[in-house]
Structure 1
Amino acid sequence: MRIAIIAPEQIPVPPILGGSVEITILAIAKELAKQHSVTVISRSHRRYPAYSAVSGVHIYRVATGSPEKYLANVRSFLQGKSFDVIQVDNRPKFVPSLKKMFPNAVVSLFLHSLTFVSPPLATREAAGAGMRSADLVIANSESLKTQLTKRFPFAAAKIRKVWLGVDTSRFKPAASAKPRRALRLLFAGRLIPRKGLPVLLRAVKLAKRASARPLELVVAGGTKNAAYSRSMRALSQKLGVNARFLGTVPHRRIQQVFQDADVFVCPSQLHEAFGLVNVEALATGMPVIASSIGGIKEIVVHNRNGMLIARYKQPQAFADAIVRLANDRSLLGTMKLQARMDCMERFSWSATAKRLARLYASPNLHGDA
């Protein structure tokens, strides 16, 4: 198959620092390129040439700007070319125009969250137009598929679930872990309110009282809101939490941060469609303590490879889970091994690409690939 993948206009492929959608696009494209012709259209960036080939993937970069300007440049690039599949990631507004341009191709809309089918970024009418025009709508979790089906029932028959994956050769346990007395907790994600860092900071303070081990917290992630970042650092100091803020860590190096931690904590306060960082943590051999919300529940299996927190708005609930792992080294060790095993069995980019390819080869397939 000749497959074109249209990336969003905000972050280049490959991403310079991070961007889960762009990480996903390139990882899937590399796998698809082993058996198909794959072209990725991405925004231009001063660090990248207009064209490059990465692991068999042809990446063309066009000028960005507003979504409308970017789409016009994408259309100009595509003019006169032929593809069997056009995959649009996270931009439902792009779909009607591209379907009209390629009426005989399978045009899919790959959604990674509800963000771009919801106000203020999309009215229900605009999002619905994209859903109607797509031949397939790909959701990255059963949770997101359910949410989309409720919101756009007319599209239910063409919404499919395709889990994301992880590079298990890069995200893997450290070759030699140095023993330490402290339990090192890791938070990785954007420093924005919905990610729940204040809940985690308060949880660590509470957990210190009952933990048999000292607790360390590493925060890997940046924000465009400098004031919010300063407020998080101030809160950690006020609470007496031993926290180290790393700022934004480029994704190409983030596995080193993962390998140097014991437990991953994901205290999200709003729906997470999938939660790629949780899969990366499992692959590294870290148990995950996470909010029982959205697609996270499809990744973390309670009391097996981590712990799901039902009362995720309450710091004490996270504190109890942290203390349990801090005080039971045997349980921690068992969960570490199980985390890696579960990830190897269930989440790989190869499996993701195979499911997509099956759907694209037979777009009228009933049920998930």
Structure 2
Amino acid sequence: MRLLIIAPEEIPVPPPVGGSVEHCIYHIAGQFSSSVHSVTIISRWKNGYPRTSTFDHVTIHRVNGTSSKPYLSQVIRKVKNRKFDLIQIDNRPKFVPAIRREFPHTPISVFLHSTTFISPPMTSISQANKDFNGADLLIGNSLSLQEHLKKKFPKHSSKVHFVHLGVDLGQFHPSSRNNSGTRPFTVIFAGRLIPKKGIPVIIRAMRKVRQSIPSARLVIAGGTGKSEYKRYLKKLSVSLGVPTTFKGYVARSKMPAFYNLGDCFVCPSQGHEAFGLVNVEAMASGVPVVASRNGGIPEIINHRHNGLLVTDYRNPEAFAKEIFAVATDREFAARLAKQAREDALQNFSWRKTAKKLESIYASEIRTRRSV
């Protein structure tokens, strides 16, 4: 299979920091079978990156364009007149009409990582519906997102599939520091500093936890495009007396070490969390996870088996209760961490992600060729 993957315009592949979509593209492409497939990725160019790079059976071409229209124009210019068996567009349904015009007979898949780019204010439901007319497949990263797509876009329901994401199980692994009782109990969070991630809920929960565990502290990794929101979070931490370290953007290469700082990882998502890759990374790292029972998260975390789920996830006290359980029952926390690692090994490798995607794509190509 000759596969073309078109990345979003914002961040290069592989991403230097953040960029969960670009991170997924890079790892999935690398896990496609090299004996059967060749993969071409078109990504944004950024100073310091080569225009073209290759590894194994994957070639990455990087083009100019920091906004969608000039970037898409450069993408089309780069791939014009080339032959592909299938084209995957990640998180940009609005790219579909232009790519369809250029490749009228090639199957097109839209791989969606969240509901952001199929919802207002990024687009309207009617416009997304029109964009999907040119797609042959819609791939969500969770069963929850699959069901959301079917409900919102019923006329395209037969195109919808889901593929769980994965984690580099060699890079993310447990550290003995997680079980050490010689340091303050440390709660960690990783993600964008935006309201729907629920960071104020953690801060308020930590205030409650610290009433019983005064040494407990919070460490947050992630950046924001709105400095005033970060200032608000810092002010909230100070006003509630919660010792909080804001580490800002953390390079992908340093994320395994970040997870190993933690005794507990908290994901208090308030909006629909399609998958929650950070939860799987924490699980693979042997860190007990406390997360909202929201979106695709319950597909990853089984309550009290490999992590803890909070149903009343708008309530800081509900999070505080579960964090306190991890902090005060180290045997229970160790069991959660051990099972989390085992489940990550069993269910969430990048190879498993790639194999399921390969199967969906091969079936689509066979169907198209038989018509």
TM-score normalised by the chain length of structure 2: 0.95
Aligned-pair distance for 1:33?
5.3
Residues 293-345 of structure 1: CA distance to partner in whole angstroms, max 9, x if unpaired?
00111111101111110111110000111111111111011111011001111
SS across alignment from 2:236: helix
SS across alignment from 2:121: coil
Aligned-pair distance for 1:214?
2.9
2:40 maps to 39
The 1-side partners of 2:78 and 2:365 are apart by 29
2:158 maps to 157
1:128 maps to 129
Q: Is the 8 A contact 1:304 1:335 kept in 2?
A: yes
Q: Is the 8 A contact 2:167 2:281 kept in 1?
A: yes
Aligned-pair distance for 1:154?
0.5
Q: Is the 8 A contact 2:189 2:266 kept in 1?
A: yes
Aligned-pair distance for 1:354?
0.4
Cα root mean square deviation, aligned: 1.6
5 Å matches for 1:258-337?
Answer: 258-337=259-338
The 2-side partners of 1:227 and 1:257 are apart by 25
Question: Residue type of the partner of 2:189?
Answer: F
Q: Which runs of 5+ in 2 are unaligned?
A: none
The 1-side partners of 2:348 and 2:161 are apart by 17
1:202 equivalent in alignment to 2:213: no
SS across alignment from 1:103: coil
The 1-side partners of 2:239 and 2:126 are apart by 46
SS across alignment from 1:201: helix
SS across alignment from 1:290: strand
Question: Residue type of the partner of 1:153?
Answer: P
Residues 128-157 of structure 1: CA distance to partner in whole angstroms, max 9, x if unpaired?
122221111100000101111110000111
Aligned-pair distance for 1:275?
0.7
Question: Residue type of the partner of 2:113?
Answer: H
The 1-side partners of 2:92 and 2:71 are apart by 11
The 1-side partners of 2:23 and 2:352 are apart by 16
Q: Is the 8 A contact 1:33 1:57 kept in 2?
A: no
Residues 261-298 of structure 1: CA distance to partner in whole angstroms, max 9, x if unpaired?
11100011110111110010000011110011001111
Residues 156-199 of structure 1: CA distance to partner in whole angstroms, max 9, x if unpaired?
11100100000010010125654424221111111111111111
SS across alignment from 1:95: helix
Question: Residue type of the partner of 2:210?
Answer: K
Q: Which runs of 5+ in 1 are unaligned?
A: none
Q: Pick one of 163, 170, 186 that aligns with 2:188.
A: 186
Q: Is the 8 A contact 2:85 2:365 kept in 1?
A: no
Question: Residue type of the partner of 1:117?
Answer: I
Aligned-pair distance for 1:208?
1.8
Residues 221-266 of structure 1: CA distance to partner in whole angstroms, max 9, x if unpaired?
1112111112211211111112211111111211101012111000
Between stretches 171-180 and 324-333, larger displacement belongs to 171-180
The 2-side partners of 1:33 and 1:8 are apart by 24
Q: Is the 8 A contact 1:185 1:264 kept in 2?
A: yes
Question: Residue type of the partner of 1:95?
Answer: V
1:88 maps to 89
Change (3 A) 1:182 1:158: same
1:65 maps to 66
SS across alignment from 2:72: helix
The 2-side partners of 1:72 and 1:104 are apart by 20
The 2-side partners of 1:279 and 1:143 are apart by 16
1:7 maps to 7
Residues 108-139 of structure 1: CA distance to partner in whole angstroms, max 9, x if unpaired?
00011111111121122321122221111100
The 2-side partners of 1:15 and 1:175 are apart by 29
Between stretches 30-39 and 5-14, larger displacement belongs to 30-39
1:338 maps to 339
1:30 equivalent in alignment to 2:30: yes
The 2-side partners of 1:33 and 1:71 are apart by 28
Runs of 4+ in 1 over 3 A off after TM superposition: 175-179
SS across alignment from 2:49: coil
TM-score normalised by the chain length of structure 1: 0.95
